[in-house]
Amino acid sequence: MAPFRGSADLSLTFPFPARMLTWAYPDFASAALGLALVLLLVALQWQRTARLGRRLGQGVGRLGWKLPLRLAAGALLLLAWLGPALGVQQQAVRTSGLDLWLLVDVSHSMDAADVAPTRLLRTQAALTELAAAFPADRLGLIVFGPEASVQCPLTYDQPALQLFLNTLSTRLLPPGPTTLRAPLDLLLTRLGPADGAPAPTGAPPRATAAVVISDGEDFGENLEPVLRTLSRTG
């Protein structure tokens, strides 16, 4: 299996429950002004208590122990006035996904039983497990042999993809030598031109991957140009 990366654009938006602190009356400027007023009143009260303590010959600490309580009470009243609330709110969370292309060799050699039950049936089982690992991504299926064809376009519909995987057969394409150039060229047409243009500002990262499954040893000639083009798309 060989991965290739490209530039397909895929972004999903999911409602996501998030615990957060909200304010019924978020007038923080007025709250700051009120806090300053409370501090001023506390300072004046402290001075008055200090003068009274000196007249009575007592320490300020014995007469001023209520002041911190009054300060805390004032701050709590201001906090309550803002109306804080902690709860669950639905937020839209944007995430980038993946376009995954499955390129499967369906030449007649895939009917060989050296890998039980056959190479193609083992491939079907492996691709079923692979597809299940990408439930939130788009998957597509390309079959190839002497030529290539899109068996299933990119889709989120896993049951539909599974239907096409179940119908994989070495009779889908005419007999002939296997070539890897045909499916890679077809993949490039699905990726679009590799012009290296930057993504729009604020757009999520774009990603495409391809998984190639084949039992061939000779994949034809002139693969270097298409491989270089694929590498530039990433």
- Asked if 98 and 209 count as a contact pair (C-beta separation under 8 A), the reply is yes
- The CATH classification of domain 3-16+97-233, taken from the options 3.10.20.740, 3.40.50.11780, 3.40.1650.10, 3.40.50.410: 3.40.50.410
- What is the structure's pLDDT at 230? 74
Task: Measure the CA–CA gap between 34 and 27, rounded to whole angstroms.
Answer: 11
- Asked if 94 and 12 count as a contact pair (C-beta separation under 8 A), the reply is yes
Average pLDDT, the chain: 77
Q: Give the tens place of pLDDT for each residue, 122-132.
A: 999 999 999 99
Q: Give the tens place of pLDDT for each residue, 70-102.
A: 778 877 887 887 787 776 555 555 556 789 999
For residue 64, pLDDT beyond 80: no
Per-residue pLDDT band for 106 (boundaries 50, 70, 90) equals very high
The single residue listed with the structure tokens 């109306």 is: 83
Q: How many residues does the chain have?
A: 234
**Sequence letter at residue 156:** Y
Edge-to-edge, what's the strand order for the sheet holding 99-105?
A: 3-5, 208-213, 99-105, 138-144, 148-155
Whole-model pTM: value is: 0.55
Q: Work out the percent of the chain whose per-residue pLDDT is above 70.
A: 71
Domain boundaries, the chain: 3-16+97-233, 25-82
- What is the structure's pLDDT at 11? 44
